[in-house]
Amino acid sequence: MSTIPDFDVTLNEQPVPAAERERILADPGWGRYFTDHMVTIQYDAERGWHDARLRPYGPIALDPASQVLHYAQELFEGLKAYRQDDGSIVTFRPFMNAARMNRSARRMAMPEIPEELFVAALEQLVRVDRDWVPTADGYSLYLRPFMFATTRALGVNQPAQEFTFAVIASPSGLYYKNGIKPVTVWLSQDYTRAAAGGTGEAKTGGNYAASFAGQAQAVANGCDQVVWLDAVEHRWVEEVGSMNLMFVYGSGAQARLLTPALTGTLLPGVTRDSMLKLAPDLGIPAEEGKISIEEWQAGCESGQISEVFGCGTAAIISPVGAVKSADREWTIGAEPGPVSMRLREELVGIQYGTRPDPYGWVHKIV
Ligand SMILES: *Cc1c(COP(=O)(O)O)cnc(C)c1O
């Protein structure tokens, strides 16, 4: 039996005119423009998921006592739709995002959404707004599914009963407009992103709200992004900004990849998982482990660590060129490294259909 309800479709009678849309798609930036439509699906304890709609993009009316506004019961996802050379439009591993949203939902005491319904919502939106998927090389349509508690109640002793799931879409250009340039990162020793038993592995807005002060501190210290360390010893490296971190030990035929293991405080990235699978196929052994800031610094100084990069859907990879903190500072490299770029090329090739897709990760929509 299908769990997918019919979407009630109301088309936007005033879509962005084609010429204006083309102008936006020529230089969309990131997260600044939105397509003509959105999806919303309602949930309540009695009816489950219902009232699935595709409708014009626009404001959502909320009761001022909605729980999300007071207690941040919210979660989100992020993935992209890519236009391939043959004109088809695809997404990448959308069922992995669906499964992750449901893991986030369990942690945040929110309802799970059937994976098929999650993917159907993406498909609905991308089909109707297909002209918003850019054609330029490396551009894409960023998809943002999210869910929030709409129960009208200030009491917290009763779990929320009503929720809205929505999907919006935003055209996205190249993350690095002028070529990929390594960033400088700040080791945050004052702030923590996540502690054991907390919400670090859930993709929830509260983790971001808690990170903005650390990011501001990084910028105040002349850095681009903040590196999050473990909450107990402030030594073990966890993530960079909103990306997972990868360390390349050795080089050439000896190169191997290490990424911090998923201890419960890290967000399990789809990009991270994909790199862990692709690297060995390219002859680069990959493992999950533990790395301290002392090991990171010593490894760079001895030359044992040759490249470091963040990875996530938005940037794909973001090389780290230098590291700073209140009491130490070291460099890695002024140019993106060959292993970082090789992995990036492989992943992007699969997403845009210019390389074989050995794991069946590409999901065709149109
Ligand atoms: C979303 C996110 C990532 C990257 O996940 P991808 O699925 O690869 O985009 C990493 N860290 C944090 C904190 C995130 O929110």
Residue nearest to atom 6 of ligand 1 (CA): 269
Q: Is the pTM of this model over 0.75?
A: yes
CA of 312 to the centre of ligand 1 (A): 5
CATH of 183-352 given 1.10.1530.10, 3.20.20.70, 3.90.1150.10, 3.20.10.10: 3.20.10.10
Q: How far apart are CA 189 and CA 200, in angstroms?
A: 17
**Percent of the chain with pLDDT strictly greater than 90:** 94
Q: How far apart are CA 315 and CA 310, in angstroms?
A: 9
**Percent of the chain with pLDDT strictly greater than 70:** 99
Condensed to tens digits (0 to 9), the pLDDT of residues 65-117 reads: 999 999 999 999 999 999 998 999 999 999 999 999 999 999 999 999 999 99
Query: Which long-range contacts (C-beta less than 8 Å, at least 24 apart) are formed by 323-328?
Result: 323/184, 323/185, 323/187, 323/227, 323/296, 323/297, 324/184, 324/185, 324/186, 324/187, 324/221, 324/222, 324/223, 325/186, 325/187, 325/189, 325/293, 326/189, 328/187, 328/293, 328/297
CB–CB of 231/260 below 8 Å? no
Condensed to tens digits (0 to 9), the pLDDT of residues 141-172 reads: 999 999 999 999 999 887 789 999 999 999 99
- Residues sharing a CB contact under 8 Å with residue 342, sequence separation 6 or more, in sequence order: 282, 284
Tell which one of 108, 208, 275, 313 to mutate to probe ligand 1, the residue whose CB is within 8 A of the most ligand atoms.
313
At 2, the pLDDT band (50, 70, 90 cuts) reads: low
CA of 271, closest atom in ligand 1: 8
* Axis-axis angle for helices 270-281, 94-107 (nearest 10): 130
Condensed to tens digits (0 to 9), the pLDDT of residues 199-228 reads: 999 999 999 999 999 999 999 999 999 999
CA of 272, closest atom in ligand 1: 8
CA nearest to 73, candidates 119, 113, 104, 97: 104
Residue at 211: amino acid letter: S
CA of 9 to the centre of ligand 1 (A): 31
Count of Cβ atoms closer than 10 Å to residue 342 Cβ: 16
Determine if ligand 1 sits within 6 Å of the CB of residue 259. Answer: no
CA of 314, closest atom in ligand 1: 9
Determine if ligand 1 sits within 6 Å of the CB of residue 104. Answer: no
Domain with CATH 3.30.470.10 in the chain: 8-172
Q: How far apart are CA 280 and CA 273, in angstroms?
A: 12
The yes-or-no verdict on residue 293 having pLDDT over 90 is yes
In 215-338, which ranges are E strands? 225-229, 237-240, 243-249, 256-260, 286-289, 305-312, 316-324, 329-331
Determine if ligand 1 sits within 6 Å of the CB of residue 239. Answer: yes
CA nearest to 340, candidates 365, 314, 315: 315
CA nearest to 279, candidates 249, 239, 322: 249
Q: How far apart are CA 97 and CA 115, in angstroms?
A: 9
CA of 97, closest atom in ligand 1: 7
CB–CB of 342/311 below 8 Å? no
Placement of tokens 């936007």 in the chain:
12
Determine if ligand 1 sits within 6 Å of the CB of residue 243. Answer: yes
The CATH architecture to which 8-172 belongs is 2-Layer Sandwich (3.30)
pLDDT at residue 178, as a whole number: 80
For 53, 71, 85, 267, the CA distances from 245, given in Å and listed in that order, are 38, 30, 31, 11
pLDDT at residue 292, as a whole number: 98
Condensed to tens digits (0 to 9), the pLDDT of residues 54-67 reads: 999 999 999 999 99
Q: How far apart are CA 223 and CA 39, in angstroms?
A: 37
Condensed to tens digits (0 to 9), the pLDDT of residues 341-366 reads: 999 999 999 999 999 999 999 999 99
Tell which one of 144, 244, 245, 266 to mutate to probe ligand 1, the residue whose CB is within 8 A of the most ligand atoms.
244
Q: What φ, ψ does residue 93 adopt, rounded to 5°?
A: 45, 50
In the chain, which ranges are E strands? 8-9, 37-44, 48-56, 74-76, 79-83, 89-92, 140-149, 162-172, 183-187, 225-229, 237-240, 243-249, 256-260, 286-289, 305-312, 316-324, 329-331, 362-364
For 148, 159, 312, the CA distances from 71, given in Å and listed in that order, are 10, 11, 27
CA of 275 to the centre of ligand 1 (A): 13
pLDDT at residue 3, as a whole number: 64
Q: How far apart are CA 181 and CA 60, in angstroms?
A: 38
CB–CB of 339/251 below 8 Å? yes
Burial of 39 (0-12, 13-18, 19+ CB in 10 A): buried
CA of 244 to the centre of ligand 1 (A): 7
Determine if ligand 1 sits within 6 Å of the CB of residue 204. Answer: no
Domain with CATH 3.20.10.10 in the chain: 183-352
CA of 300 to the centre of ligand 1 (A): 25
CA of 273, closest atom in ligand 1: 8
Determine if ligand 1 sits within 6 Å of the CB of residue 313. Answer: yes
Q: How far apart are CA 346 and CA 353, in angstroms?
A: 10
Residue nearest to atom 5 of ligand 1 (CA): 269
Residue nearest to atom 10 of ligand 1 (CA): 243
Determine if ligand 1 sits within 6 Å of the CB of residue 203. Answer: yes
